[in-house]
Amino acid sequence: MRKSIPLSFVIISLPFAGSAADLNAGNNLETVVVTATRTEQPREITGTSLSVITGADLAAEQIDVVTDALKEMPGLTVVRNGGIGQITTIGIRGAEAGQTLVLVDGVRINDPSTTDGEALLADVFVNNTERIEILRGPQSTLYGSDAIGGVVNILTKRGGATPFSMMATAEGGSLGTYRLNAAANGTVDAVEYGGAINFYNTQGIAVAGTRPINVNPDPYRNLDATGNIRVRVIDAVSLDLRGYSVNAKTVFDGFPPPNFTLQYTGEYGTDDLLAFYAGLNFSFLEGRFRNRIAATDLDSDRKNYNPALSVPEEFFARGRSTTFEYQGVFDLTAVNQIVFGAESQRTTLRTGSPSVSDPNPMPVTGHTQINSYYVQYQTTLFDQLTLTGGFRHDDDQAFGGHNSLKLAGAWNLFAGSTNLRANYGDGFKAPSLYELFSPYSNPVKTLAPETARGWETGFDQKLFDGRALASLVYFQRRTAGQIDFFSCFGVVSPACSQRPFGYYDNISRARAEGIEFEASAQIFNTLAVSGNLTDMSAIDLATHQDLARRPRVMANARIVWTPDTAWSLGVSAGYTGRRFDDDSESVPLAAFTAVNIFASYALSEHVELFARAENVFDRHYELAAGYRSLPMTLTGGLRLAR
């Protein structure tokens, strides 16, 4: 039986912002976004469900890890196998981890060396972040493969009103955790720049719930950096250079013989990722025709080690993704715009698992290439109704051609106080390189892409002269041809004779549907509240059972009080409903509520003290069966600004 959520939990909440005046910025319909249409647009005309987390939001709630902010968004599930740095996956509206596209400053960070091609979000920290945009629903028309669930776009700061501004942060707290961060940005003549470096270290917790939390904890270390530069060559021409790097080390628990149960083994993994973007922007017709030519490159290098073995390196995976793209934006009139472009993406994989019996195995290698073309047209009628339509064709050397369609509409009524919106979108995900080329590749046929069709309809309503906003949306998505592992245990077939352990095949179908409700309000000038509720059913259409780790009900609530310009005090709470750890519904996971408190005090214009308490009631809960989550932790720090 589905449990109900107290209405007060849904309504009382806070957006992340640093002052009461900024608290509703992320939920404001007039917020300008870029992810929905690949061009700057007011959110109210995009016709899509999109959440914005600003840099001020992240600073106010003192969030270090990007997924800690994402889990507070409607329709989004985060699963972390233990403490900070352990395997972390996200699902938008019930989608699989590899079905969400993640970008940092326009560069895909979905790792081609992983089994499912998902982004390694455990290592993605807040670092000079200007804002995060989360686009929900299938988005392959503009973004191609991996965008079945949606898109997460992380944008860093660049430029500013002064030649140099700086923010430096130092914090420390429970579990031997400390973080150092320094960021700078500014504008010098024709150069806009931004960059940051971040170091995070924690002793961590004992991930396995079978031993005390402080016995053989699993530590984590992360060093990451971002860079973002624009050079204006002449008025109509500019050059963009961006970079993102991660160097991380994680100790994790394993499943050693003879019991093969989760326990401390001393194993650890390293993750190195380096991504670059270089783009040339140029415009014609007094800025009405804007063009961009760009190249991106991502290189990942992952290794796992087991010091107990005579051959300590037990796994390696190297992936690379290179993309060349062109995009044009032509403003035909003030209310008619066309966006078009072409992309060519090549991905490669090299992976292996050395062992004592085979210390130098023949590595698994493979590559694939997708060439894509897309076009989108947007028009506004009667100054009220905005219609958007898009089409994309992808040509893959492995599975052939695939077409995607997008339709969206937004109708603004009553002087903009009411916004009715609806959209339909296709999504697809190309088979990962591991699924295509590993020893478990399909021996009898070429894998087809996973495909999805999704639609939604909803409205946004401003209340009390714009001081409050409520949104409600119903969504549905059907996914076909999902790639899953077919076990050959007890099966006699030509395919199993070649793959005795099993192989990957397009054998799964799923449906996700539900409602998302959001509300925010500015009460007086010093108090802001907001919240969201997601009621979702995500099921396997073959078994009609819930998909693993997808709660039926999720809710988030926040409230922040800023009595003056120096003080800020906030409380946030997140509820995750009952769900199952497996697709057979045999391992239930209990519902839980986690509460955080955060506060800050500005000693001067340049110096701020801050502190927070997370999981203040020390609730024990598991996001994945057998993996302990963080207990109550306390953190304090100092922030310097110039």
Residue 469 token pair: 């906003």
Q: Is residue 416 part of a domain?
A: yes
What average pLDDT does this structure show over 426-438?
94
Per-chain mean pLDDT for the chain: 92
Which residues have a Cβ under 8 Å from the Cβ of 320 and sit 6 or more positions away? 112, 297, 298, 299, 300, 347, 348
For every residue of 339-391, DSSP letters joined together read: EEEEEEEEEEEEEE---SS-SSPPPEEEEEEEEEEEEEEEEEETTTEEEEEEE
Within 10 A of 145 (CB to CB), how many other CB atoms are there? Answer: 28
Q: Is residue 1 part of a domain?
A: no
Q: Report the alpha-carbon distance of residue 63 to residue 126 in Å, rounded.
A: 7
pLDDT of residue 339: 97
By the 8 A CB rule, do 108 and 277 touch? no
Q: Is residue 11 part of a domain?
A: yes
Report which of 234, 264, 235 is spatially closest to residue 251, judged by C-alpha positions: 264
Question: Considering just the CA atoms, what is the radius of gyration of the chain in Å?
Answer: 24
For every residue of 520-546, DSSP letters joined together read: EEEETTTEEEEEEEEEEEEEETTTTEE
Number of domains in the chain: 1
By the 8 A CB rule, do 626 and 209 touch? yes
Q: Is residue 311 part of a domain?
A: yes
Phi-psi group of 216: left, alpha or beta (phi > 0 → left; psi -120 to 50 → alpha; rest → beta)? left
Phi-psi group of 359: left, alpha or beta (phi > 0 → left; psi -120 to 50 → alpha; rest → beta)? alpha
Q: Report the alpha-carbon distance of residue 74 to residue 532 in Å, rounded.
A: 6
What average pLDDT does this structure show over 358-363?
88
pLDDT of residue 399: 81
Q: Is residue 2 part of a domain?
A: no
What average pLDDT does this structure show over 315-331?
97
Q: Is residue 269 part of a domain?
A: yes
Q: Is residue 139 part of a domain?
A: yes
Q: Is residue 572 part of a domain?
A: yes
**What Å distances lie between residue 537 and 20, 77, 103, 458, 514, CA to CA?**
35, 13, 27, 18, 6
CA angle 375-381-385, nearest 5°? 85
pLDDT of residue 24: 44
Domain span including residue 265: 7-641
pLDDT exceeds cutoff 50 at 271: yes
pLDDT of residue 25: 47
Q: What backbone phi and psi angles, to 5 degrees, belong to 152?
A: -115, 120
Q: Which of 46-50, 253-257, 618-622, 632-636 has the lowest mean pLDDT?
A: 253-257
**What Å distances lie between residue 207 and 216, 252, 258, 592, 597, CA to CA?**
9, 7, 20, 18, 24
Q: Report the alpha-carbon distance of residue 595 to residue 129 in Å, rounded.
A: 24
By the 8 A CB rule, do 523 and 11 touch? no
Within 10 A of 612 (CB to CB), how many other CB atoms are there? Answer: 22
Residue 70: CATH number of its domain: 2.40.170.20
pLDDT of residue 9: 37
Q: Report the alpha-carbon distance of residue 67 to residue 88 in Å, rounded.
A: 8
Task: Give the model's confidence band at 33: pLDDT under 50 very low, under 70 low, under 90 confident, else very high.
Answer: confident
Question: Which pLDDT tens digit goes with each residue over 513-568?
Answer: 999 999 999 998 899 999 999 999 999 999 999 999 999 999 999 999 999 999 99
By the 8 A CB rule, do 15 and 57 touch? yes
Strand partners, 242: 228, 277
Question: Which pLDDT tens digit goes with each residue over 104-150?
Answer: 998 999 999 999 999 999 999 999 999 999 999 999 999 999 999 99
pLDDT of residue 400: 83
Q: Which regions of 465-620 does DSSP assign to beta strands (E)?
A: 468-487, 502-523, 527-540, 545-546, 553-561, 567-576, 579-580, 588-589, 592-602, 607-614
